[in-house]
A and B are shown apart, each in its own frame.
Chain A
Amino acid sequence: MGGSLFSSLQTALSALEAQQTVLGVTAHNVANANTPGYARQQVVLESVPAPVGIGLGTTPAVGGGVRVATVQRLTSSFLTQELWSSQAQIGAAQQQTQTLGQVQALLNEPSSTGLSTMLDAFWNSWQNLANDPQSMAARQQVLSAGDAVATGLSGLVGQTTQLQAGLNTQVSSDVRQINSLAGQVASLNGQIAVAAGTGQTASDLEDARDALVGKLSQLVPLRVSQNQDGEFNLTIGTVQLVAGTQTTKLLTKPSGAQGMLALSWSGGMPVSLDGGQLGATLDLRDTVLPSYLGQLNQLAQGVASAVNTQHAAGYDLSGKVTGLPFFVAKGGGTLDASTLEVNPTLVVAPNKLAAAGGPFQGPGDGANALAIGDLNGSAVVAGATSADFYAALVGQLGSETQAAQSSLTNLQNLQQGIQQQISQISGVSLDAEMTRMVQAQNAYAAAAKVSASVETMLSALLSMVQ
């Protein structure tokens, strides 16, 4: 063809079209400058080569202008994977921080209203009774201090159990969300594969899918791989949650006396989760909270059994050995922190409190009350005093919470770093877009100028013919 005027017009047209595309993509980028998860797009232009073998030997062939090779989506799959794996850890740390923080709030220590103060007041009330064994006021004080300890402990256990039930509800909502997100990823996989098959760009679909996988990886730790059709396969443990357009569903089933939900795959495979919000929720529900509940029960049983033994050995105000326990289990069940209460027989008859030590000598004998008060300094719970045992429990909770909090802070810092790196590659820079816009504008104007001069040349040619 060589360099005909008409072909120059064609070339100028291709430039106009290409620069329009550049401008369009720039507009798209600017519009999404603040869209979370948006990866900037870039028009890749290529020159149209001269047709081969058509030139007439003497005139060298001229290229045919410019065309849009592709619209590229700028991402780093390595960094995205890093982000997703950090998200699973953050999801776990957030759940731990939140739940342990709630337990801390329940214990309400150090304060003047926590269980430690109640325990101290309880032991001291016995010493007061020892000083004034015939005083009804001192007897009432012992009963109400005992009641404060019992209700304090059962309140703590009740609220912690509620927290556990709350986590159980969260397990079911997490599972619903995982199944729904997995379904959406599978459906996007299909659309992206179709787009790839027909040569279209699917950048915005890929952005959407990345965002979904991000949400998913906060809930469960995922391994993400991509097949040749551009579809994502998401694997948890050894099970493929999403394989192309297929999903495996997570199922929940109530189990045990408390109706705690157990997880299984729809194919019947066992579920193994190590991390993520769901993994942490399960761990908190099944291991961490039960451990604190167990320690509270240990405390209740240790204190109750020591006080009961000593109390049964004493003499009441009328000089009789009553053999009554001070603490009993509400409703006659197993004695633990949730059932602990002061023996109702004593509540209605405070003179039955065994303040006197045997053999009974008189109403001024407070030896047994003193012996009970002195249990304060005895190793009554797992080889420790009640105060030390409880302080250690609070200390342990503090350490665990602190560890979760600092790991959350570290992970958030790490994630912030990854986000910054991703933003370097995928983020929209308005300055860069403006520059590209001006370049496109100039190129467009120049191409238009070329068209205009070709047109002038053509008219000159035509006027020669006339």
Chain B
Amino acid sequence: MRVTDAMQGDLLRWDLQTVQGQMMNEQQQLATGHRIQVPSDDPVGTENVLQWQAALDQNTQDQANAKDAQAWLETGQSALQQAVTQVQRIRTLALEANQGTLTPQQLQSVAEQVSASQDALAQAAAARVGDSYIFSGDQTETQPFVLGTSGYTYAGGSGSVTRELVPGVQVAVNVNGGTVFGPVFAAVRQILGDLGKGNPGAVAGKDLTTLDSALNGLIGAEGQVGGILQQVTSGQSQLTATGVALQKLQAGTLDTDVTQAVVRLQQLQLSYQSALAVGAQLMRQTLADYLQ
């Protein structure tokens, strides 16, 4: 083979450029922490990363939805617990009223206590998450029970509020105030009426039966909310697990393996330095150096 000076120079330049290009690539991977800078670095990987990112973003939203559902259900649960306490207080008062030895003034005082509990019940029914009344059905801007001439009546809507846990799976995050609290207020209205008429027997009799059935409805609703809350909570932990798995997948494809990149960079540096050293030695010498 005939070796010429241009060949040596060209080859050295070519080799140095190639190694420099590879070093730049490794440096970029290390500096950004990402193995894929542009889609052409790994087209299939990029497509996967984008799809996983879409799934991750969906997952983040699902988690936000679940958190919102949790807030509604927890608020509902505590409001229903308060309501149960108030109804049980009214029940005790109703039994007290029928002891047969109460004066009209004493009956009046019982009626006032019942009325106060009724107000507390209305307050519990007006529980809110953010600006939304949770027991007003779809009429989230309307207070569910307001005191009118015929006592507390339901002013909310009939639709239910739902949240999507994962695409396609929706849960109701409230119970309808009209269905759950309505009978309670009706029973209390009866009790107050019979107390006003001085009829404690009816209060402890048929009124109490009505109140008990309304209380059962309330307790049933509490159980229902608790059940859905459990479903949401377990859904949440599943969503978190899915999110972590997706992040792992994405990191595996997108992130630089630092150890490997550093080792590769060192190998490249070694060959770069060797090429420089050898090139510098070879390029210096020609026959002209030895001619007198």
Give B3's nearest chain A residue, CB to CB.
A429
Asked if residues A391 and B131 are in contact (CB atoms below 8 Å), the reply is no
Asked if residues B57 and A120 are in contact (CB atoms below 8 Å), the reply is yes
Q: Assess whether A305 is interfacial by the CB under 8 Å rule.
A: no
Q: Mark A287-327, 1 if CB is under 8 A from B, else 0.
A: 00000000000000000000000000000000000000000
Q: Which of A131, A363, A394 contacts B39 (CB under 8 A)? A: A394
Q: Kindly state the separation between the CA atoms of A93 and B53 in the bound complex, as whole angstroms.
A: 32
Asked if residues A134 and B141 are in contact (CB atoms below 8 Å), the reply is yes
Q: Assess whether B36 is interfacial by the CB under 8 Å rule.
A: yes
B269 partner residues in chain A, CB cutoff 8 A: none
Asked if residues B53 and A110 are in contact (CB atoms below 8 Å), the reply is yes
Q: Assess whether A135 is interfacial by the CB under 8 Å rule.
A: yes
A362-B138 contact given A420-B10, A434-B288, CB 8 Å threshold: yes
A425 partner residues in chain B, CB cutoff 8 A: 2
Asked if residues B167 and A394 are in contact (CB atoms below 8 Å), the reply is no
Q: Assess whether B240 is interfacial by the CB under 8 Å rule.
A: no
Q: Which of B7, B68, B137, B291 contacts A427 (CB under 8 A)? A: B7
**B101, chain A: closest CB distance, angstroms:** 50
Asked if residues B39 and A428 are in contact (CB atoms below 8 Å), the reply is no
Count of chain B residues near A, Cβ 8 A: 61
Q: Kindly state the separation between the CA atoms of A370 and B286 in the bound complex, as whole angstroms.
A: 80
**A102, chain B: closest CB distance, angstroms:** 11
A127-B61 contact given A34-B6, A363-B139, CB 8 Å threshold: yes
A394-B50 contact given A374-B167, A405-B40, CB 8 Å threshold: yes
Asked if residues A398 and B42 are in contact (CB atoms below 8 Å), the reply is yes
Asked if residues A101 and B4 are in contact (CB atoms below 8 Å), the reply is no
Q: Assess whether A109 is interfacial by the CB under 8 Å rule.
A: yes
Asked if residues A104 and B39 are in contact (CB atoms below 8 Å), the reply is yes
Q: Assess whether B130 is interfacial by the CB under 8 Å rule.
A: yes
Give B36's nearest chain A residue, CB to CB.
A110
Give the dominant DSSP class at A's interface.
Answer: helix
Q: Mark A121-146, 1 if CB is under 8 A from B, else 0.
A: 10110011011101100000000000
Q: Which of A127, A364, A429 contacts B137 (CB under 8 A)? A: A364
A121 partner residues in chain B, CB cutoff 8 A: 57
Asked if residues A120 and B51 are in contact (CB atoms below 8 Å), the reply is no
Give B166's nearest chain A residue, CB to CB.
A377
A104 partner residues in chain B, CB cutoff 8 A: 38-40
B4 partner residues in chain A, CB cutoff 8 A: 423-424, 427-429
B130 partner residues in chain A, CB cutoff 8 A: 132, 135
Asked if residues B139 and A364 are in contact (CB atoms below 8 Å), the reply is yes
Q: Mark B20-50, 1 if CB is under 8 A from A, else 0.
A: 0000000000000010101111111011111
A395-B44 contact given A363-B141, A364-B132, A435-B287, CB 8 Å threshold: yes
Asked if residues A116 and B40 are in contact (CB atoms below 8 Å), the reply is no
Interface stretch (choices B78-86, B153-161, B213-221, B227-235): B153-161
Q: Kindly state the separation between the CA atoms of A131 and B130 in the bound complex, as whole angstroms.
A: 11
**B176, chain A: closest CB distance, angstroms:** 11
Q: Assess whether B120 is interfacial by the CB under 8 Å rule.
A: no
A434 partner residues in chain B, CB cutoff 8 A: 286-288, 291
Asked if residues B61 and A124 are in contact (CB atoms below 8 Å), the reply is yes
Q: Assess whether A456 is interfacial by the CB under 8 Å rule.
A: no
Give B58's nearest chain A residue, CB to CB.
A376
Q: Assess whether A263 is interfacial by the CB under 8 Å rule.
A: no
A105-B5 contact given A362-B157, A416-B14, CB 8 Å threshold: no
A419 partner residues in chain B, CB cutoff 8 A: 10
Asked if residues B60 and A116 are in contact (CB atoms below 8 Å), the reply is no
Q: Assess whether B277 is interfacial by the CB under 8 Å rule.
A: no
Q: Kindly state the separation between the CA atoms of A423 and B40 in the bound complex, as whole angstroms.
A: 34
Q: Assess whether A392 is interfacial by the CB under 8 Å rule.
A: yes
Q: Assess whether A231 is interfacial by the CB under 8 Å rule.
A: no
**B3, chain A: closest CB distance, angstroms:** 7
Q: Which of B43, B136, B287 contacts A431 (CB under 8 A)? A: B287
Give B34's nearest chain A residue, CB to CB.
A110
Asked if residues B138 and A117 are in contact (CB atoms below 8 Å), the reply is no
B162 partner residues in chain A, CB cutoff 8 A: 367
Of the listed residues B36, B170, B288, the one surrounded by the most CB atoms of chain A closer than 10 A to its CB is: B288
Q: Assess whether B11 is interfacial by the CB under 8 Å rule.
A: yes
Asked if residues A105 and B138 are in contact (CB atoms below 8 Å), the reply is no
Asked if residues B57 and A117 are in contact (CB atoms below 8 Å), the reply is yes
Q: Assess whether B278 is interfacial by the CB under 8 Å rule.
A: no
Asked if residues B6 and A390 are in contact (CB atoms below 8 Å), the reply is no
Give the 9 A-B CB pairs with smallest separation, nearest first. Answer: A398-B39, A362-B138, A427-B4, A364-B140, A398-B43, A395-B47, A387-B54, A120-B57, A401-B40
Footprint of B on A, CB under 8 Å?
A: 33-34, 100-101, 104-105, 107, 109-110, 116-117, 119-121, 123-124, 127-128, 130-132, 134-135, 361-365, 367, 370, 373-374, 376-377, 385, 387-388, 390-392, 394-399, 401-402, 405, 416, 419-420, 423-425, 427-431, 434-435, 438
Footprint of A on B, CB under 8 Å?
A: 1-7, 9-11, 14, 34, 36, 38-44, 46-51, 53-54, 57-58, 60-61, 64-65, 68, 130-132, 136-142, 156-159, 161-164, 167-168, 170, 254, 286-288, 291
Query: Can you list 14 A-B contacts with CB-CB less than 8 angstroms, sorted by A residue number?
Result: A34-B9, A110-B36, A131-B64, A364-B139, A364-B141, A365-B159, A370-B170, A394-B47, A398-B39, A402-B40, A416-B11, A423-B6, A429-B2, A438-B291
